Amino acid sequence: MLRFFTNIHPTEGKRWVTSKSFAELAQEFAGITLPFPKSCTYSLGQRLERKMKGLLASAGFKGALRSPYDQFMLRLQRFLKQNVEFQTNTPKTCWDFPPGACWALFTDQVSHAALSGWHVLEQVFLVPNQAMLYPDQSPVGILERLSRGNMIDPAFNS
């Protein structure tokens, strides 16, 4: 995900903190502390959920199924927020964005959190692997190498 941000608050800055890269976090936690989701294996419940979401989508309702990659990233995000060791002892860098500032980053590539500020516009672009110069260095590529599985199952994209 390539995300662009603009702080539109007239007087308050936005403060962010970043920490380790995704490659470092995956090496440290993926597969052991945080097990990989089973890719390409669907339980009866997941198949029923897919069918129901498909029916709702045909009626105009939106509700995406999460790929194994998305499932892992959500679990990693929750884990890092709740992990006292990570929150206390991992080196962090603070970034201040004054009113009117714009910034961009591949948000899945680095751990990040907003510490203060509000009124920020955000635009997200999903960059397909085939458009990347080094797709094996993307978070999806890293997780597929570590898990030896498909983290973006095409069935989730329909």
Write out the DSSP string of 22-48. HHHHHHHHBTTTBPPPPTT---HHHHH
The three-point CA angle 88-92-94 to 5° equals 125
| pLDDT tens, residue by residue, 71-95 | 889 999 999 999 999 999 999 999 9
Compare 37 and 140 and report the one with higher pLDDT. Answer: 140
For the chain, first and last CA: distance in Å? 19
Q: How far apart are CA 73 and CA 65, in angstroms?
A: 14
For residue 135, give both structure tokens: 């797709």
Provide the residue count of the chain: 158
Average predicted confidence (pLDDT) for the chain: 87
Place of tokens 């999806």: 140
pLDDT mean over 149-158: 66
Question: Could you tell me if 65 and 154 are in contact, meaning their C-beta atoms sit under 8 angstroms apart?
Answer: no
Which band of pLDDT confidence, cut at 50, 70 and 90, is reported for residue 153? Answer: low
- Please state the pTM of the whole predicted model: 0.78
Q: What is the pLDDT of residue 56?
A: 80
Neighbours of 5 (CB within 10 A): 19
Q: What is the pLDDT of residue 158?
A: 45
Ramachandran area for residue 117 (φ above 0: left; ψ -120 to 50: alpha; else beta): left
Which three-class secondary structure state does DSSP give residue 150? coil
